[in-house]
Structure 1
Amino acid sequence: MEDHKITSLSTDEDQIEARRIADLCESAYSSFCSSGGGSTLDTHLDNCLQHVADEDANCFVRQVVYGVTRYRRFLDCFLDSFFHHNRGTALRADAVKYRVLTYLAAFRLQELTFPTFRLLLEAQDAQKVLLLLQYLFNGSRLQQTCREDWLQVYDKEFVDGIIAGLLSWQAEVDPLLAKLRAQVYFTQQQEQQQEASSSSSSGRAGSSPARCRKPAPTVPQEFKLSQPCPKPLPQPEPVPPAVKPKPPPKFQPGPTKEQLAIEAARAAHRQAAAARQADPRFQPFKLRVLERPMHSDAVRAELEAELAAELAARPQARPAPPPPTAEVRLNAAAVLREDALYKRKQAAEAAALQKYEAELRDTAAFDRWQAALREADAAQQAERVEQLRSEMSAAAGAAAQAKAELLAAKAATTNAEKAARAAREEERQRAWQQQQEANAQRAAEVAADRAKAKQAQEEALIERRLAAQQVRQQAQEEARQRSEQAAAEAAERRDIIAQLRGLEKAARARNNGLGGASRGKVFDPTAVPEHGINNTMSLAELRVRLEAAKQRQLEEEARARARILEARQAREASLSSKVTQLAAIRRLASAQAQLVKAAAQAQRARTADAVLQRTEANALALSDCIEAKHAAAAAEAARVAAEERRLKFEQMQLAAGESVVEAKRFRELRDGKRRDCEHRQVTSLQQAQIDDINAAKLAAARQHVIGLRQQQHTSLQRQYDKQLASAAQQVSLQSTALLSSKQRAAARRRQQEEAQRTQHATAAYRPFSGGGHTTMQARLQALAAGQEL
């Protein structure tokens, strides 16, 4: 009874704690929504939760508020549909409560586990929770109403995953719904019965005009509406200061003062060294060894020749030894699998042989048909080769013509390039503008990356807190199971004590009824008790039968061991025979593979020789054909040259009188050509000067842009490094605080476990040792006290 009271008290405390945490979540989110965005979410939660001392509760409330804020559109769609279908029973004043519970059920139920979520639900009003669960875990309602609204905001896979996750908890939600329905509808029935009883009593007393009074009329009153707080205006963002690049330092041609000083010092050092070398006191000494005749050059040449001979001799490399053959030890499964594979192949080969024997036929007609087709293919291949040669000769002439056309196209392209320079200049200006826009976009992306880094740190912290919460919940669940097991064992012991007391009372009553005649009766182990029970026997017979049964069991075990040993030996013999057979099959397969490989190599060599011979014959034929064509072309060229010489001689005879006119015309053409060349030269020089000026301007602008980019990159990198260092320091501080909190929680847990172990050791069972002449009453008292007999 006391254990039941303790369990009920602990359950009530858990519900109170769950109700308090749920209220904290609702109040924190409501106050953040009513603040109108005057502060960030982190700052608001720090202000709201500064009085919460429990770190686990603080972390849970923060995670819930973050999640509700993140999935605001998801929850808005659900609550709109929920209030629309429950507009007569659900109150919009409880919208924050429904929002928090819906977020926990849709996104955090897997982490919380259903018992913890059920504890949070049972701490709320049963009627409100019943309305929410009936709508939230209704698959048809979610598919018909909520799914379409969610698909307008989120992806299909995400929405389907959320719906499937909710419906996967249907088996755990149904008992809770039944319990809530019983609570809600039973309460409504009681209220209806009370109203019916009060109305009947008022009807019976209606005969008394003094007690029956007419209710007062309803007086309308104005609503007490409060003025909403004005939303603060957004703070203006400061305009970043304009970048003022510093001009480069002025360059002064000529050596600087430092360079002049260094050059003067060098000249002084050189003069001092020359004077020291000219002084006879500081001349280098001479060795007498150098004056004596020596054969060092011959010795050196001999040593160098020996070294060159040693280096020139290259040792002959021997082939590497073959690798050792490793024996592969197979287990029983591998041996059986390989044996089955070979048996299957043998069966297939036997079936193929049987089919061949049953369907014998002559293949001469097929061989002739195959040979004819191969000859036709070879003729077609030769025809294709000949056609390809003719096409290649025609392509050579086309290539020469294409080359001339390409030169003309290049000349036209050169003229078009000059006209396109202005267009390229405009394109460069547009590219510079686009680069400026890209730089601005890149700066925005860098700022967004900083925000993402902070968000990733927050998510990592949330994950660690969730893992710690899961470990604590698992420890609480194990403690609860241990307490329930201890309570069940205590109840079982109490039942045994009550049964023994009942048996003692029955025996005492029977002894009182029979008197004291049977107290001095001597026990006979060979006597059979006469209690009217079938198959009764004496204690001696029982012992003999037990011995016989044990002997039979030992014999059965020996026979079973013998059977198992025989089966094992037979299996090992079968496996050894199969291993021998497989080794023979492998050796045969290896020999066959080597034969096939040698035949394939010989076939490839024969094929290569045939191809080489055919290629050489084709090359000789092609060479003869080319030489014949060259001879024909030379003869044609000689004929054309003789014809041209004859025509030129005739023209010279005809044009002897027109030589003066032709000379004048030639001089005029030459003068015009010279003037055209001079004009083109002047124009090209001017254009080259303009191009050089534009190239210098473009290079200067490019260098300027590169300098600006480097400055921006350096400043952004410096700011990013500072923020990253501060973020890393915050993360280290948070991790240190989290580790210290975990260590404190672990220490508290160890102290609690040590206290429980001490208490358990103090209240442990103690065996009863009351002597050989202990009475039954003393034994029952010891058993009731929890001592072992």
Structure 2
Amino acid sequence: MACYGKCIETVIKHLDQFKPERDNPEQFLEAVSTSLQALSPQKQAFIMEVLSGCLEYRKLLTVVVDAFYVRDGRLCLWADYSLFEVICYLATFQLEELGFRLFSHIIKSQPLHKMCKFLGFLFNPLNLGSWIKDEWSLVYETAYVKENWIDPLMRWQPEVQELITQLQGVLTNQSPPSKTKTKVTEPKEFNLTAPRPRAIPVPEPVPEVAKTRPVPRSTYQPPREQQLLEVTKRHNRWKAEELLLRANIEAMRCAVPRTRGEPPEQDPKKKLQLRDPPRILKTPKLTFYRPNNAPVKLNTAAVLREAALYQRQVEKELQRVDKLVDGAGDFSEFLEWQKKMQAKDREEQLAAGECRRLQGKLSHEEAILARKQVELEKKQKAERQKEELLMQQCAERRLQEERSVKELVEQVMETQKNIRAAQTKLLKGRRQIVQEVMEESRELLQRSAEAAKEEQRRRCELTAQLRALETQPTRKGKLVDLTQIPGYGLEGEMSIVELRERLALLKEAQQRKQEEKRDQIIRGKRAKSQELQNAVEQVALCRAANGRTAALRWEEKKAQSATAGAPSQDERVLELQRRIREKAAQRRGQGAQPHVSAPQALRPKPRAQREAQRRLELEQSRERRLRALVQEGMACGPARPLGAA
């Protein structure tokens, strides 16, 4: 048994050394036979027979061993791959010749737990009858595989199973090696002195703190200067509001004619001087536009443009005042008559537009009624055509399914006939591909070796050239005197030091010029900023004045619009609206009646109802909007102020 165990180890060692992509099996066997000359002829023959068989049936053995590692041998080492190949070869091809007794001796000479796992996997009837047989049939014929390999393994299966149980019993009876109990270290207590108690410290005296002064009352009272500022602010505001009212009331007073008996007015400045000092009273609030407090940063062009605009407005106003002083006429009556006529024309246009819209709506209602009748007829016809089409499609589908089933059966029969021919053809193709790949790999290896030699030679040449360059002597740089003149005889010839000094002087002069120019630019900017600030102040004053005048105009417009009356309706519009309501009621009544078709009753869809309701709401909203526009036009036309034109 020990002899066979050593022989198996020798076979495993040589199998591990064999590389199929590099070694030739025949040459490898010759080399192994020469190395085994020292052994006895019996051992040498056994080793060579097992080794040659493993190499010959390597494909079959690889299938079984790979599957073993995937399924039951996940925890086994890959170093035992050759061992499992040898055991598989002996069990499959040499069990009849060796005999079960010698085979069991060989198994017992190997690690028992590994042999139990592998033999249980190999001699499993399910594995032998299913996938092992199928995989081996891809390499050899099925009948040959079943007769020569699968059936013998199935016959030896009971005896091998007894061997496996025997090996498992041996494994369970082996007792684990006893471990000596180590001594435990016993700790000893330290001999430490007891600490002395700490002395209680003497408390320190508490220092006396001086009393703080109370906070003065003036801290929580507002200062007197602030009260004076508030009083002055209110007085200034009252004065500004009074001046604003006076300016708005007495605006363009020179254009109003005065009767002969009326005495001339006194100077308002003298009146203000004769009055008593003004009192601070609460003035009534004016209605202004809502201020827009969003900060707007204007550039220079915008400020100047706005200042020029206000200047032109002032000039135009002065020209108008001069014309009025010279006796120009007033167009207020003509403008009022013109506005009335425009409002009347607008009302007529709106009424005509409403009539056209209502006529279109009436025709739309009539078209809807006609369209519904046509749709009902088309639906009945479409349902009849759909039923006929469905019957035809069902018949065609059945015929097509029968044809496809027949074709599928014929294809399956043909494929079953051509399986063996395809397998042989596939094997031949694979062998040819392997030979081509081996030849290509050899050529590539030769090319790579030649390229490596060429690269090595080129590198050697480059290193030789670099070393030759390094050994050549180098010249040192020439010293230069910066104060020496070259002496070429040119005009203005100078040394480098003199050139640097002149360049420094030129740079200083250029800096002085730049500083002077910068000062001049700063002065110009300051002057421009002052002018711009003056323009901004003027624009702010003009804006405030425009805001006040706009507020007064808005008050007048509100007062005039409150007195406007409601517009009247046109008879044509009322008649068309009445007819439209009748048509709509008729359409809704027809929609509510059930329409019964030939096969079944057709009910109105909820989507159609929603669309009709939405269309009705849109029409009502348009009518309301048109009425509001008419009322607004009638109200705003005559109420516009006369001076706005």
For the aligned pair, the TM-score class normalised by the smaller chain equals: under 0.3
Q: What TM-score results when the alignment is normalised by the length of structure 2?
A: 0.27
Q: What TM-score results when the alignment is normalised by the length of structure 1?
A: 0.22
Q: Which has the higher helix share?
A: 1
